[in-house]
Amino acid sequence: MKKTQRSASQFLIAASTLLISAIALSSWQTISDAALPLDEIELPMGFEISVYAEGMPGARSMSLSPNRTLFVGTRGAGKIYAVLDGDGDNQADEVITVAQGLDSPNGVAFRDGALYVAEISRVQRYDNIEASLHNPPAPVVVNDSFPNDRHHGWKFIRFGPDGLLYVPVGAPCNVCEHQDQRYATIMRMKPDGTDLEIFAHGVRNSVGFDWRPETQELWFTDNGRDMMGDNRPPDELNHAPEKGLHFGFPYCHGEEILDPAFGQQRRCEEFTRPAMKLGPHVAALGMRFYTGTMFGETYRNQIFIAEHGSWNRTVPIGYRVTLVRLEDNQAVSYEVFAEGWLRENGRAWGRPVDVLVMPDGALLISDDRAGVIYRISKSTVVPVEATGKRQALLGKIKQTALFQNYPNPFNPETWIPYQLAEKAYVSIRIYDASGHLVRELALGDQPPGEYRKRQKAAHWDGRNHAGELVVSGIYFYILEAGDFRATRQMSVAR
């Protein structure tokens, strides 16, 4: 397999615009490995990306054995792969299909020499799997009592520090109430499949979780509902320090957004708030606490999240790897770590699914669209001075600024451009002519750069906090970025 590698200082400014159908986005067909444009991936200075393994259509969830066999699940491909790097050169020597013909085997977990695989309605186990990768044993059914709904039916699984296997059961719908209490939960059971119980409630569709090393407490991603507009609701990063917590679905989304159909039944105050509100419709999937040392102390025990990307948003978002930083067991910031799979020409050539920290500290990322596993590591080349297009651009930005929205006047939507001279937490508040707050766009921590084009500018869909279209008239928008604050005027013409 040919090695492909680029230094972060060579990377181009990544774009973020795409709108293709959900069917096309969910395709697991691999693209030509030789065509992977890794030079489009933008990383922090000092990091580099390479292809660790290729030729795995639909590569999704990952699990690593103590012997460093990497097991990879899929959905539509119906296969389980084993990835071997026998010579330890950080590039796979062999990819073996150890099982096929399975029913969306998304979830994989390894324990005591056995590979656990989650299909739609059951979890199976392949005993002593590494001794017979080319001719695996017949699987043993661990538990086959899970619902068989295909909507959010694929499962991510992991063993917790308590020795139990955690298995989410997604809601069988976009948004609904169901008599079966197993739906919209995270469940757990013993390795032999007994004592199955609900650990967390109100979880629409979690496809990634991990335990914080210092506390051994569960953190997980959750995908927000669809069809509430471009910016509502956010996806979520949640923290479940104990059994029995309820995280709001289907009644409340993202801390304060009552569901249009079910929100009158319960109050948001009744539920556990998100630890961090992520981007709307980013499809936050796999997540891991960074437990390595390669990236340095500033990354240790922080959370990497694979964002698969939106499918029904006017201006697409996601298709990237983000970083959530913690202080005192609280999530305090949300920023982009790796992006560039989403292009300006309206096509995404890759979709991150899961992340995994290797023993040497490198970060693996699975991609079910490109059919590969990437490896992000610290570069062995130390740049003497900043070079490349990104550094040249940043050198020209002397001050943070807010620009006129476009189109203006507008109906139904508009974009708000700005630029940042330094990293800052960015928010935009929109007020009517009477001074009443209409909408707040919390954009989170953003690196210095230009946010002028539609792919990166703030987007307002012309709706208030309740999701209602605002009336025609004059409005004011205020940008706050660190200590910077600026105001401009815009017009809505219905």
Same domain, 408 and 374: no
- Domain assignment of residue 387, yes or no: no
Kindly state whether residues 363 and 409 are assigned to the same domain: no
In a domain, 41, yes or no: yes
Q: What is the CATH number of the domain that holds 462?
A: 2.60.40.4070
**Among 344, 378, 412, where does a domain finish?**
378
257 shares a domain with 340: yes
Of 378, 410, 428, the residue that ends a domain is 378
Given this model, what pLDDT does residue 312 score? 82
Chain position carrying tokens 């939106």:
310
For tokens 């970083």, what's the residue? Answer: 323
Same domain, 272 and 193: yes
- Domain-embedded: residue 318: yes
pLDDT tens track for 142-198: 999 999 999 999 999 999 999 999 999 999 999 999 999 999 999 999 999 999 999
Domain count, the chain: 2
Q: What is the pLDDT of residues 38-81, one digit of tens each?
A: 999 999 999 999 999 999 999 999 999 999 999 999 999 999 99
* 388 inside domain: no
Mean pLDDT confidence for 325-349: 91
Instruction: Please give the residue that has the higher pLDDT: either 392 or 314.
Output: 314
For tokens 């069809």, what's the residue? 227
Phi then psi for residue 34, to 5 deg, are: -65, -20
Pair 332, 229 in one domain? yes
pLDDT over threshold 70, residue 23: no
Residue 384 in any domain: the answer is no
Q: Which residues contact 53 (CB under 8 A, 6 or more apart)?
A: 1, 70, 83, 91, 92, 95, 372, 373
459 confidence band (pLDDT: 50, 70, 90): very high
* CATH value at residue 178: 2.120.10.30
Q: Are residues 342 and 426 in the same domain?
A: no
Residues 406 and 337 placed together within one structural domain of the fold: no
Spatial distance between the Cα atoms of 415 and 239, rounded to a whole number of angstroms = 33
Q: Please check whether residues 419 and 304 belong to one and the same domain.
A: no
Last residue of a domain, one of 378, 412, 442: 378
Q: Which of 281, 247, 244, 280 is nearest to 266 (CA)?
A: 247
For residue 332, give its domain range.
Answer: 5-378
Length of the chain: 494
Q: Is the pTM of this model over 0.85?
A: no
Q: Are 236 and 358 within one domain?
A: yes
Residue 443 in contact with residue 436, Cβ under 8 Å? no
pLDDT digits (tens, 9 = 90+) for 96-148: 999 999 999 999 999 999 999 999 999 999 999 999 999 999 999 999 999 99
